[in-house]
Structure 1
Amino acid sequence: MCRWLAYTGNAVPLETVLFHARHSLIDQSLHSKLGATTTNGDGFGVGWYQHPHDIPYRYRSVQPAWNDRNLREIARAVHAPMFIAHIRAATHTPVQETNCHPFRHRRWMFVHNGLIQSFPLVRRELLVAVEPARFSAIEGSTDSEAMFYLAMTFGLEVDPVPALERMVGFVEATAKKHGIEPALNMTVCASDGEQLVAVRYSSERKSRSLFHTTSFKHLHELYPDDPRIVAAGEDAYLLVSEPLGDLPEVWAEVPESTAIVVRGAQVEYRDFVPVMP
Protein backbone atom coordinates (compact mmCIF):
# COMPACT_ATOMS: atom_id res chain seq x y z
CA MET A 1 0.00 0.00 0.00
CA CYS A 2 1.55 3.29 1.14
CA ARG A 3 3.45 4.91 4.02
CA TRP A 4 2.96 8.37 5.48
CA LEU A 5 3.95 10.62 8.36
CA ALA A 6 2.67 13.83 9.92
CA TYR A 7 4.60 16.22 12.16
CA THR A 8 3.68 19.17 14.37
CA GLY A 9 6.00 21.07 16.72
CA ASN A 10 8.71 23.67 16.42
CA ALA A 11 9.75 24.47 12.86
CA VAL A 12 12.35 21.90 11.76
CA PRO A 13 13.92 21.05 8.39
CA LEU A 14 11.82 18.50 6.52
CA GLU A 15 14.93 16.39 6.04
CA THR A 16 15.05 15.71 9.80
CA VAL A 17 12.31 13.09 9.53
CA LEU A 18 12.23 12.46 5.78
CA PHE A 19 15.91 11.52 5.47
CA HIS A 20 17.89 11.61 8.72
CA ALA A 21 16.08 9.07 10.88
CA ARG A 22 17.42 5.51 10.82
CA HIS A 23 14.20 4.15 9.29
CA SER A 24 13.12 7.40 7.66
CA LEU A 25 10.21 7.71 5.28
CA ILE A 26 12.68 7.61 2.39
CA ASP A 27 14.14 4.37 3.75
CA GLN A 28 10.60 3.01 4.03
CA SER A 29 10.03 3.74 0.33
CA LEU A 30 12.54 0.95 -0.35
CA HIS A 31 12.50 -1.16 2.82
CA SER A 32 9.10 -1.00 4.49
CA LYS A 33 8.89 -3.44 7.42
CA LEU A 34 5.19 -3.28 8.26
CA GLY A 35 3.51 -2.34 5.00
CA ALA A 36 1.56 -4.53 2.61
CA THR A 37 4.44 -4.03 0.14
CA THR A 38 8.15 -3.65 0.84
CA THR A 39 8.64 -1.03 -1.87
CA ASN A 40 6.58 2.15 -2.19
CA GLY A 41 7.90 3.66 -5.39
CA ASP A 42 4.82 4.89 -7.28
CA GLY A 43 5.31 8.56 -6.51
CA PHE A 44 5.36 10.69 -3.39
CA GLY A 45 4.30 14.01 -2.01
CA VAL A 46 4.97 16.40 0.84
CA GLY A 47 2.87 19.32 1.99
CA TRP A 48 3.76 21.91 4.62
CA TYR A 49 2.46 25.00 6.37
CA GLN A 50 4.64 28.02 7.05
CA HIS A 51 1.80 29.76 8.94
CA PRO A 52 -1.41 28.12 10.25
CA HIS A 53 -3.86 30.19 8.20
CA ASP A 54 -2.05 29.92 4.87
CA ILE A 55 -2.84 27.57 2.01
CA PRO A 56 -0.21 24.83 2.37
CA TYR A 57 2.71 24.43 0.02
CA ARG A 58 3.01 21.11 -1.77
CA TYR A 59 5.50 19.15 -3.85
CA ARG A 60 4.45 15.94 -5.62
CA SER A 61 6.17 13.72 -8.14
CA VAL A 62 5.75 10.34 -9.84
CA GLN A 63 9.45 9.67 -9.24
CA PRO A 64 10.32 7.18 -6.49
CA ALA A 65 11.05 9.19 -3.36
CA TRP A 66 14.52 7.68 -2.99
CA ASN A 67 15.47 8.88 -6.48
CA ASP A 68 14.23 12.48 -6.52
CA ARG A 69 17.09 14.95 -6.13
CA ASN A 70 14.71 17.93 -5.93
CA LEU A 71 13.07 16.41 -2.87
CA ARG A 72 16.44 16.34 -1.12
CA GLU A 73 16.98 20.02 -1.90
CA ILE A 74 13.49 21.03 -0.75
CA ALA A 75 13.75 18.93 2.42
CA ARG A 76 17.06 20.62 3.26
CA ALA A 77 15.80 24.15 2.61
CA VAL A 78 12.29 24.12 4.08
CA HIS A 79 11.71 24.54 7.83
CA ALA A 80 8.08 24.04 8.85
CA PRO A 81 6.12 23.62 12.10
CA MET A 82 3.62 21.24 10.51
CA PHE A 83 3.93 18.94 7.52
CA ILE A 84 2.61 15.73 6.01
CA ALA A 85 4.51 13.39 3.68
CA HIS A 86 3.38 10.31 1.75
CA ILE A 87 5.00 7.61 -0.39
CA ARG A 88 2.71 5.69 -2.71
CA ALA A 89 2.25 2.07 -3.72
CA ALA A 90 -0.51 2.16 -6.33
CA THR A 91 -3.46 -0.24 -6.26
CA HIS A 92 -6.37 0.38 -8.66
CA THR A 93 -5.18 3.57 -10.33
CA PRO A 94 -2.32 4.77 -12.55
CA VAL A 95 0.93 6.39 -11.50
CA GLN A 96 0.40 10.07 -12.24
CA GLU A 97 0.99 13.27 -10.32
CA THR A 98 -2.71 13.95 -9.71
CA ASN A 99 -2.93 10.61 -7.90
CA CYS A 100 -0.07 11.43 -5.52
CA HIS A 101 -0.84 12.47 -1.96
CA PRO A 102 -1.29 14.79 -0.13
CA PHE A 103 -4.52 15.95 -1.71
CA ARG A 104 -5.29 19.61 -1.05
CA HIS A 105 -8.42 21.73 -0.96
CA ARG A 106 -7.97 25.29 0.26
CA ARG A 107 -6.27 24.99 3.68
CA TRP A 108 -6.87 21.25 4.05
CA MET A 109 -4.56 18.38 3.14
CA PHE A 110 -5.29 14.65 3.26
CA VAL A 111 -3.26 11.43 3.03
CA HIS A 112 -4.42 7.82 3.12
CA ASN A 113 -2.92 4.36 3.42
CA GLY A 114 -5.22 1.45 2.57
CA LEU A 115 -7.99 0.96 0.05
CA ILE A 116 -11.68 0.79 -0.70
CA GLN A 117 -12.31 -2.79 -1.76
CA SER A 118 -13.47 -3.20 -5.38
CA PHE A 119 -13.32 0.56 -5.81
CA PRO A 120 -14.11 0.50 -9.56
CA LEU A 121 -17.49 -1.08 -8.77
CA VAL A 122 -18.54 1.65 -6.32
CA ARG A 123 -16.57 4.62 -7.68
CA ARG A 124 -19.43 6.23 -9.59
CA GLU A 125 -21.88 6.02 -6.68
CA LEU A 126 -19.34 7.47 -4.24
CA LEU A 127 -18.39 10.35 -6.52
CA VAL A 128 -22.02 11.27 -7.22
CA ALA A 129 -22.40 11.90 -3.47
CA VAL A 130 -19.67 14.58 -3.50
CA GLU A 131 -21.09 18.07 -3.12
CA PRO A 132 -21.44 19.56 -6.64
CA ALA A 133 -19.55 22.72 -5.71
CA ARG A 134 -16.52 20.61 -4.74
CA PHE A 135 -16.71 18.00 -7.49
CA SER A 136 -14.79 20.05 -10.06
CA ALA A 137 -11.78 20.16 -7.70
CA ILE A 138 -11.21 16.40 -8.03
CA GLU A 139 -8.17 15.93 -10.28
CA GLY A 140 -7.20 12.26 -10.01
CA SER A 141 -8.81 8.82 -10.00
CA THR A 142 -7.93 7.33 -6.61
CA ASP A 143 -10.20 6.03 -3.88
CA SER A 144 -8.17 8.21 -1.49
CA GLU A 145 -9.15 11.46 -3.20
CA ALA A 146 -12.78 10.31 -3.33
CA MET A 147 -12.64 9.72 0.44
CA PHE A 148 -11.20 13.21 0.97
CA TYR A 149 -13.94 14.98 -0.97
CA LEU A 150 -16.66 12.87 0.62
CA ALA A 151 -15.28 13.90 4.02
CA MET A 152 -15.30 17.54 2.87
CA THR A 153 -18.92 17.10 1.77
CA PHE A 154 -19.84 15.68 5.17
CA GLY A 155 -18.28 18.55 7.12
CA LEU A 156 -14.52 18.04 7.45
CA GLU A 157 -13.92 21.79 7.63
CA VAL A 158 -16.43 22.19 10.49
CA ASP A 159 -15.99 19.08 12.68
CA PRO A 160 -13.34 16.71 11.29
CA VAL A 161 -13.84 13.46 13.23
CA PRO A 162 -17.64 13.23 12.77
CA ALA A 163 -17.14 14.07 9.07
CA LEU A 164 -14.70 11.17 8.71
CA GLU A 165 -17.12 8.90 10.58
CA ARG A 166 -19.88 9.86 8.13
CA MET A 167 -17.55 9.31 5.17
CA VAL A 168 -16.64 5.80 6.33
CA GLY A 169 -20.25 4.97 7.15
CA PHE A 170 -21.31 6.02 3.67
CA VAL A 171 -18.53 3.99 2.01
CA GLU A 172 -19.43 0.90 4.05
CA ALA A 173 -23.13 1.23 3.27
CA THR A 174 -22.46 1.73 -0.43
CA ALA A 175 -20.11 -1.26 -0.57
CA LYS A 176 -22.64 -3.43 1.24
CA LYS A 177 -25.28 -2.67 -1.40
CA HIS A 178 -22.87 -4.09 -3.97
CA GLY A 179 -22.09 -7.18 -1.87
CA ILE A 180 -18.60 -5.94 -1.02
CA GLU A 181 -17.49 -6.80 2.52
CA PRO A 182 -15.23 -5.80 4.15
CA ALA A 183 -15.54 -2.36 2.61
CA LEU A 184 -12.34 -0.48 3.40
CA ASN A 185 -9.05 -0.36 5.26
CA MET A 186 -7.47 2.94 6.18
CA THR A 187 -5.13 5.05 8.15
CA VAL A 188 -5.75 8.68 7.21
CA CYS A 189 -4.52 12.09 8.26
CA ALA A 190 -6.08 15.48 7.54
CA SER A 191 -4.81 18.92 8.49
CA ASP A 192 -5.81 22.56 8.13
CA GLY A 193 -2.54 23.97 9.49
CA GLU A 194 -3.87 24.32 13.03
CA GLN A 195 -4.51 20.65 13.81
CA LEU A 196 -3.68 17.12 12.76
CA VAL A 197 -6.60 14.70 12.62
CA ALA A 198 -5.70 11.03 12.15
CA VAL A 199 -7.72 7.82 12.13
CA ARG A 200 -6.85 4.14 12.18
CA TYR A 201 -9.83 2.03 11.11
CA SER A 202 -10.85 -0.91 8.93
CA SER A 203 -14.16 -2.66 8.33
CA GLU A 204 -12.52 -5.98 9.26
CA ARG A 205 -10.71 -4.58 12.33
CA LYS A 206 -7.33 -5.42 10.79
CA SER A 207 -6.06 -1.95 9.99
CA ARG A 208 -2.79 -0.89 8.43
CA SER A 209 -0.10 0.01 10.96
CA LEU A 210 0.01 3.45 12.60
CA PHE A 211 2.19 4.73 15.46
CA HIS A 212 2.64 7.94 17.41
CA THR A 213 5.44 9.37 19.52
CA THR A 214 4.97 8.92 23.25
CA SER A 215 6.45 12.15 24.64
CA PHE A 216 9.06 14.51 23.30
CA LYS A 217 9.50 15.85 26.82
CA HIS A 218 10.48 12.31 27.82
CA LEU A 219 12.79 12.13 24.80
CA HIS A 220 14.53 15.33 25.91
CA GLU A 221 15.26 13.65 29.24
CA LEU A 222 16.51 10.45 27.59
CA TYR A 223 18.57 12.12 24.85
CA PRO A 224 19.46 15.66 26.01
CA ASP A 225 22.31 15.95 23.52
CA ASP A 226 20.37 14.97 20.38
CA PRO A 227 20.01 18.22 18.39
CA ARG A 228 17.03 16.90 16.38
CA ILE A 229 14.99 16.28 19.54
CA VAL A 230 16.00 19.63 21.03
CA ALA A 231 14.97 21.45 17.85
CA ALA A 232 11.52 19.81 17.75
CA GLY A 233 10.56 21.07 21.21
CA GLU A 234 8.83 19.34 24.11
CA ASP A 235 5.36 19.55 22.56
CA ALA A 236 6.29 18.02 19.19
CA TYR A 237 4.22 15.09 17.96
CA LEU A 238 4.72 12.59 15.13
CA LEU A 239 2.33 10.15 13.50
CA VAL A 240 3.98 7.52 11.33
CA SER A 241 2.93 4.41 9.41
CA GLU A 242 5.87 2.66 11.01
CA PRO A 243 8.46 3.75 13.58
CA LEU A 244 11.41 5.80 12.37
CA GLY A 245 13.80 3.99 14.73
CA ASP A 246 14.22 0.99 16.99
CA LEU A 247 13.81 2.62 20.42
CA PRO A 248 10.67 1.06 21.96
CA GLU A 249 10.15 3.87 24.48
CA VAL A 250 9.68 6.39 21.67
CA TRP A 251 6.73 4.83 19.81
CA ALA A 252 3.27 3.54 20.69
CA GLU A 253 0.85 1.83 18.33
CA VAL A 254 -2.43 3.61 17.68
CA PRO A 255 -5.27 1.23 18.70
CA GLU A 256 -7.84 -0.04 16.22
CA SER A 257 -10.83 2.23 15.56
CA THR A 258 -9.17 5.30 17.08
CA ALA A 259 -9.20 8.96 16.08
CA ILE A 260 -6.49 11.38 17.21
CA VAL A 261 -6.77 15.18 17.21
CA VAL A 262 -3.58 17.17 17.83
CA ARG A 263 -3.74 20.91 18.52
CA GLY A 264 -0.44 22.29 19.76
CA ALA A 265 0.38 20.58 23.05
CA GLN A 266 -3.12 19.08 23.35
CA VAL A 267 -3.61 15.53 22.07
CA GLU A 268 -7.05 13.93 22.21
CA TYR A 269 -7.72 10.23 21.60
CA ARG A 270 -11.28 9.07 20.97
CA ASP A 271 -13.16 6.03 19.68
CA PHE A 272 -13.90 6.11 15.95
CA VAL A 273 -17.42 4.89 15.14
CA PRO A 274 -18.68 5.13 11.54
CA VAL A 275 -22.21 6.45 11.05
CA MET A 276 -24.44 6.91 8.02
CA PRO A 277 -24.59 10.61 7.10
Structure 2
Amino acid sequence: MCRHLAYLGEPVALGELVLRPPHALLRQAWAPRTQSSGVVNADGFGVGWYADGDPVPARYRRTGPIWGDLSFADLARVVRSGAFLGAVRGATLPGADGEAAAAPLASGPWLFSHNGAVPGWPGTLTPLASTLSAAELLDLEARTDSALLWALVLHRLRAGQSPGDALAGTVAAASEAAPEARLNLLLTDGEQIAATAWNNSLWYLSGPGRVVVASEPYDDDPLWQEVPEHTLVTARPSDVTLIPLKESTA
Protein backbone atom coordinates (compact mmCIF):
# COMPACT_ATOMS: atom_id res chain seq x y z
CA MET A 1 0.00 0.00 0.00
CA CYS A 2 1.04 3.65 -0.29
CA ARG A 3 -0.09 7.19 0.44
CA HIS A 4 0.12 10.04 -2.04
CA LEU A 5 -0.71 13.70 -2.63
CA ALA A 6 -0.81 16.16 -5.54
CA TYR A 7 -0.91 19.95 -5.25
CA LEU A 8 -1.63 22.80 -7.68
CA GLY A 9 -1.65 26.45 -6.64
CA GLU A 10 0.57 29.28 -5.54
CA PRO A 11 4.19 28.21 -5.00
CA VAL A 12 4.86 26.73 -1.57
CA ALA A 13 7.81 24.91 -0.03
CA LEU A 14 7.43 21.15 -0.52
CA GLY A 15 7.78 20.60 3.20
CA GLU A 16 4.77 22.79 3.94
CA LEU A 17 2.50 19.97 2.73
CA VAL A 18 4.70 16.86 2.68
CA LEU A 19 6.41 17.18 6.08
CA ARG A 20 5.05 19.96 8.28
CA PRO A 21 1.27 19.31 8.76
CA PRO A 22 0.28 17.09 11.70
CA HIS A 23 -0.86 14.27 9.41
CA ALA A 24 1.45 14.90 6.44
CA LEU A 25 2.96 12.14 4.31
CA LEU A 26 5.78 12.03 6.86
CA ARG A 27 3.35 10.77 9.51
CA GLN A 28 1.28 8.72 7.05
CA ALA A 29 4.44 6.70 6.38
CA TRP A 30 4.15 5.14 9.84
CA ALA A 31 0.65 6.03 11.11
CA PRO A 32 -1.90 6.43 8.29
CA ARG A 33 -5.42 7.19 9.45
CA THR A 34 -7.55 5.85 6.58
CA GLN A 35 -5.40 3.20 4.87
CA SER A 36 -7.33 0.02 4.04
CA SER A 37 -4.36 -2.38 4.04
CA GLY A 38 -1.10 -2.30 5.97
CA VAL A 39 0.09 0.20 8.57
CA VAL A 40 3.62 1.18 7.50
CA ASN A 41 4.80 2.81 4.25
CA ALA A 42 8.56 2.59 4.69
CA ASP A 43 9.65 0.99 1.39
CA GLY A 44 10.64 4.24 -0.27
CA PHE A 45 9.26 7.68 -1.04
CA GLY A 46 9.49 10.36 -3.66
CA VAL A 47 8.47 13.86 -4.71
CA GLY A 48 8.23 15.29 -8.22
CA TRP A 49 7.86 19.03 -8.80
CA TYR A 50 7.68 21.57 -11.60
CA ALA A 51 9.88 24.65 -12.02
CA ASP A 52 8.71 27.79 -13.82
CA GLY A 53 9.23 27.58 -17.56
CA ASP A 54 10.12 23.86 -17.58
CA PRO A 55 7.33 21.36 -18.37
CA VAL A 56 9.44 18.35 -17.37
CA PRO A 57 9.36 17.79 -13.60
CA ALA A 58 12.32 17.07 -11.35
CA ARG A 59 12.18 14.07 -9.02
CA TYR A 60 13.77 13.06 -5.72
CA ARG A 61 13.25 9.38 -4.84
CA ARG A 62 14.78 7.08 -2.25
CA THR A 63 14.44 3.47 -1.15
CA GLY A 64 14.26 4.08 2.61
CA PRO A 65 11.59 5.65 4.82
CA ILE A 66 10.91 9.34 4.45
CA TRP A 67 11.58 9.99 8.14
CA GLY A 68 15.17 8.78 7.82
CA ASP A 69 16.29 11.11 5.01
CA LEU A 70 17.68 14.32 6.46
CA SER A 71 18.76 15.51 3.02
CA PHE A 72 15.16 15.48 1.87
CA ALA A 73 14.05 17.44 4.93
CA ASP A 74 16.57 20.13 4.03
CA LEU A 75 15.59 20.11 0.34
CA ALA A 76 11.87 20.27 1.14
CA ARG A 77 12.45 23.31 3.34
CA VAL A 78 13.78 25.44 0.48
CA VAL A 79 12.39 24.03 -2.80
CA ARG A 80 9.20 25.84 -3.76
CA SER A 81 6.76 24.90 -6.48
CA GLY A 82 3.22 25.58 -7.59
CA ALA A 83 2.73 21.98 -8.69
CA PHE A 84 4.04 18.75 -7.19
CA LEU A 85 3.24 15.12 -6.40
CA GLY A 86 4.57 13.22 -3.41
CA ALA A 87 4.21 9.63 -2.23
CA VAL A 88 5.34 7.21 0.46
CA ARG A 89 5.53 3.54 -0.52
CA GLY A 90 4.45 0.29 1.05
CA ALA A 91 5.67 -2.35 -1.39
CA THR A 92 3.25 -4.96 -2.76
CA LEU A 93 6.15 -7.45 -2.81
CA PRO A 94 9.47 -7.13 -0.98
CA GLY A 95 12.66 -6.16 -2.76
CA ALA A 96 11.11 -4.97 -6.01
CA ASP A 97 13.59 -2.70 -7.78
CA GLY A 98 14.31 -0.23 -4.99
CA GLU A 99 14.38 3.44 -5.90
CA ALA A 100 13.10 2.79 -9.43
CA ALA A 101 9.84 1.49 -7.94
CA ALA A 102 9.22 4.56 -5.79
CA ALA A 103 6.60 7.03 -6.96
CA PRO A 104 6.29 9.32 -8.67
CA LEU A 105 6.88 7.47 -11.90
CA ALA A 106 7.34 9.85 -14.81
CA SER A 107 7.41 10.41 -18.55
CA GLY A 108 7.65 13.77 -20.28
CA PRO A 109 5.44 16.22 -18.39
CA TRP A 110 3.60 13.52 -16.44
CA LEU A 111 3.96 12.36 -12.84
CA PHE A 112 2.09 9.24 -11.69
CA SER A 113 1.48 7.35 -8.46
CA HIS A 114 -0.47 4.21 -7.52
CA ASN A 115 -1.94 3.79 -4.04
CA GLY A 116 -2.98 0.14 -3.89
CA ALA A 117 -2.04 -3.35 -5.00
CA VAL A 118 -3.01 -5.92 -7.62
CA PRO A 119 -3.58 -9.39 -6.11
CA GLY A 120 -1.96 -12.17 -8.08
CA TRP A 121 0.61 -9.88 -9.65
CA PRO A 122 2.09 -10.43 -12.19
CA GLY A 123 -0.14 -13.19 -13.53
CA THR A 124 -3.43 -11.34 -13.24
CA LEU A 125 -2.20 -8.46 -15.40
CA THR A 126 -0.45 -10.56 -18.04
CA PRO A 127 -3.36 -10.17 -20.53
CA LEU A 128 -3.11 -6.37 -20.17
CA ALA A 129 0.66 -6.42 -20.62
CA SER A 130 0.12 -8.09 -23.99
CA THR A 131 -1.67 -4.94 -25.22
CA LEU A 132 1.59 -2.99 -24.93
CA SER A 133 4.41 -2.98 -27.43
CA ALA A 134 7.80 -4.52 -26.71
CA ALA A 135 9.27 -1.02 -26.53
CA GLU A 136 6.69 0.03 -23.93
CA LEU A 137 7.41 -3.05 -21.81
CA LEU A 138 11.16 -2.54 -22.03
CA ASP A 139 10.64 1.06 -20.92
CA LEU A 140 9.07 0.06 -17.58
CA GLU A 141 10.84 1.82 -14.71
CA ALA A 142 10.40 -1.18 -12.41
CA ARG A 143 8.99 -4.71 -12.33
CA THR A 144 5.97 -3.82 -10.20
CA ASP A 145 2.20 -3.69 -10.54
CA SER A 146 2.36 0.11 -10.26
CA ALA A 147 4.88 0.42 -13.10
CA LEU A 148 2.74 -1.70 -15.41
CA LEU A 149 -0.37 0.31 -14.53
CA TRP A 150 1.61 3.45 -15.38
CA ALA A 151 2.59 1.98 -18.75
CA LEU A 152 -1.08 1.26 -19.47
CA VAL A 153 -2.08 4.81 -18.52
CA LEU A 154 0.75 6.29 -20.60
CA HIS A 155 -0.26 4.16 -23.60
CA ARG A 156 -3.71 5.74 -23.46
CA LEU A 157 -2.33 9.26 -23.01
CA ARG A 158 -0.11 8.83 -26.06
CA ALA A 159 -3.15 7.63 -28.01
CA GLY A 160 -4.79 11.01 -27.34
CA GLN A 161 -7.04 10.20 -24.40
CA SER A 162 -7.62 12.82 -21.73
CA PRO A 163 -5.99 12.24 -18.32
CA GLY A 164 -9.34 11.30 -16.80
CA ASP A 165 -10.22 8.85 -19.56
CA ALA A 166 -6.73 7.31 -19.44
CA LEU A 167 -7.09 6.60 -15.72
CA ALA A 168 -10.69 5.43 -15.98
CA GLY A 169 -9.95 3.07 -18.84
CA THR A 170 -6.96 1.59 -17.07
CA VAL A 171 -8.94 1.05 -13.85
CA ALA A 172 -11.77 -0.60 -15.80
CA ALA A 173 -9.39 -3.03 -17.49
CA ALA A 174 -7.32 -3.77 -14.39
CA SER A 175 -10.34 -4.31 -12.15
CA GLU A 176 -11.81 -6.72 -14.67
CA ALA A 177 -8.54 -8.67 -14.71
CA ALA A 178 -8.13 -8.53 -10.91
CA PRO A 179 -11.50 -7.78 -9.24
CA GLU A 180 -10.01 -7.33 -5.75
CA ALA A 181 -7.38 -4.84 -6.92
CA ARG A 182 -6.97 -1.53 -5.10
CA LEU A 183 -6.53 1.06 -7.83
CA ASN A 184 -6.20 4.57 -6.51
CA LEU A 185 -4.25 6.24 -9.31
CA LEU A 186 -2.93 9.81 -9.27
CA LEU A 187 -1.71 11.76 -12.31
CA THR A 188 -0.61 15.32 -13.00
CA ASP A 189 1.17 17.34 -15.68
CA GLY A 190 1.56 20.41 -13.48
CA GLU A 191 -1.58 22.01 -14.91
CA GLN A 192 -4.27 19.54 -13.89
CA ILE A 193 -4.78 16.55 -11.59
CA ALA A 194 -6.67 13.34 -12.31
CA ALA A 195 -7.21 10.63 -9.72
CA THR A 196 -9.33 7.56 -9.00
CA ALA A 197 -10.85 6.27 -5.78
CA TRP A 198 -11.03 2.49 -6.09
CA ASN A 199 -10.93 0.38 -2.92
CA ASN A 200 -9.02 2.92 -0.85
CA SER A 201 -9.50 6.39 0.56
CA LEU A 202 -9.21 9.62 -1.43
CA TRP A 203 -9.88 13.22 -0.41
CA TYR A 204 -9.58 16.70 -1.89
CA LEU A 205 -9.17 20.20 -0.54
CA SER A 206 -9.91 23.22 -2.68
CA GLY A 207 -9.75 26.91 -1.97
CA PRO A 208 -8.93 30.20 -3.66
CA GLY A 209 -6.28 29.44 -6.25
CA ARG A 210 -5.29 25.97 -5.03
CA VAL A 211 -6.34 22.34 -4.98
CA VAL A 212 -4.96 19.25 -3.22
CA VAL A 213 -5.91 15.64 -3.96
CA ALA A 214 -4.61 13.16 -1.38
CA SER A 215 -5.02 9.68 0.01
CA GLU A 216 -6.06 11.25 3.28
CA PRO A 217 -6.19 14.73 4.85
CA TYR A 218 -2.85 16.07 6.10
CA ASP A 219 -4.61 18.20 8.74
CA ASP A 220 -8.02 18.67 10.33
CA ASP A 221 -9.25 21.46 8.05
CA PRO A 222 -13.06 21.01 7.84
CA LEU A 223 -12.97 21.87 4.12
CA TRP A 224 -11.52 18.48 3.21
CA GLN A 225 -14.01 16.47 1.16
CA GLU A 226 -13.99 12.68 0.91
CA VAL A 227 -14.27 11.25 -2.60
CA PRO A 228 -16.92 8.52 -2.95
CA GLU A 229 -15.76 5.01 -3.77
CA HIS A 230 -15.38 4.19 -7.51
CA THR A 231 -15.06 7.82 -8.56
CA LEU A 232 -12.87 9.70 -11.01
CA VAL A 233 -11.60 13.12 -9.86
CA THR A 234 -10.36 15.79 -12.25
CA ALA A 235 -9.10 18.99 -10.67
CA ARG A 236 -7.59 22.38 -11.36
CA PRO A 237 -7.24 25.26 -8.90
CA SER A 238 -10.44 26.71 -10.35
CA ASP A 239 -12.66 23.61 -10.15
CA VAL A 240 -13.00 19.99 -9.05
CA THR A 241 -15.17 17.47 -10.92
CA LEU A 242 -16.29 14.06 -9.59
CA ILE A 243 -17.56 11.42 -12.03
CA PRO A 244 -18.70 7.91 -11.11
CA LEU A 245 -16.26 5.59 -12.87
CA LYS A 246 -19.05 3.50 -14.35
CA GLU A 247 -20.03 6.64 -16.32
CA SER A 248 -16.53 7.48 -17.55
CA THR A 249 -15.05 6.52 -20.90
CA ALA A 250 -13.11 3.25 -20.91
| Length-normalised TM-score, structure 2 | 0.91
1:191 Cα deviation after fit? 0.9
Aligned-partner Cα distance in 1 for 2:133–2:169: 14
* Maintained 8 Å contact 2:105/2:141: no
Where in structure 2 are the equivalents of 1:107-256 lying within 5 Å?
Answer: 107-155=109-157, 158-175=161-178, 182-201=179-198, 207-213=199-205, 215-216=206-207, 234-247=208-221, 249-256=222-229
Q: Match for 2:242 among 269, 273, 276?
A: 269
Structure 1 position 250, deviation (Å)? 2.4
Q: Secondary structure of the residue that 2:11 maps to in structure 1?
A: strand
Give 1:259's match in structure 2, choosing from 228, 232, 243. 232
- For residues 266 and 192 of structure 1, the distance between their equivalents in structure 2, rounded to whole angstroms, comes to 16
TM-superposed deviation, 1:171: 2.0
Residue 55 (structure 1) aligned with residue 56 (structure 2): yes
Contact 1:46 1:60 in 2 (8 A): yes
* CA displacement at 1:133 relative to structure 2: 4.0
> Is 1:45 matched with 2:46?
yes
**How much does 1:166 deviate?**
2.0
* C-alpha RMSD over aligned residues: 2.0
**SS of the residue 1:83 aligns to:** strand
- Between the two proteins, the alignment pairs up a number of residues equal to 247
Find the residue that maps to 1:31 and give its secondary structure: coil
**1:22-41 to 2 correspondence within 5 Å?**
22-35=22-35, 36-41=37-42
Asked if the contact 2:188–2:194 (Cα under 8 Å) also holds between the matched residues in 1, the reply is yes
Contact 2:46 2:62 in 1 (8 A): yes
| TM-score (normalised: structure 1) | 0.82
Query: d(CA) in 2 for partners of 1:89 and 1:262?
Result: 26
Give the equivalent residue in structure 1 for 2:100: 98
**In structure 2, distance between residues paired with 1:67 and 1:274:** 43
SS at match of 1:3: strand
Shift of 1:153: 1.4
1:159-200 deviations in whole A, cap 9, x for unaligned?
Answer: 12222222223223434xxxxxx2421211101121111111
- Does the aligned pair in 2 maintain the 1:49–1:81 contact within 8 Å? yes
- Could you say which structure has the larger radius of gyration? 1
| Counterpart secondary structure, 1:119 | coil
Match of 1:219 in 2: none
**What do residues 41-60 of structure 1 show as CA deviations (whole Å, max 9, x unaligned)?**
00001101113751110010
Give the AA of the match of 1:212: Y
CA distance in 2, matches of 1:80, 1:131: 35
The one-character-per-residue Cα deviations of 1:199-240 (angstroms, maximum 9, x if unpaired) are 112xxxxx2111111x43xxxxxxxxxxxxxxxxx2211112
Question: Structure 1 residues 77, 259: closer, same or farther in 2, change over 3 A?
Answer: same
AA partner of residue 22 (structure 1): P
Q: What is the CA distance between 1:138 and its match in structure 2?
A: 0.6
The amino acid that maps onto 1:198 is A
What code does the residue aligned with 1:77 have? V
Of all paired residues, the percent bearing the same amino acid is 31
Alpha carbons of structure 1 residues 63 and 274: separation in structure 2 relative to 1, 3 Å: farther
Preserved contact between residue 165 and residue 249 of structure 2 (Cα < 8 Å): no
- Contact 2:171–2:183 (8 Å) recurs in 1: no
Q: Which amino acid aligns with 1:37?
A: G
Task: Name the residue aligned to 1:227.
Answer: none
The answer as to whether partners of 2:196 and 2:230 remain within 8 angstroms in 1 is yes
Counterpart amino acid of residue 199 in structure 1: T
AA at the equivalent of 2:48: G
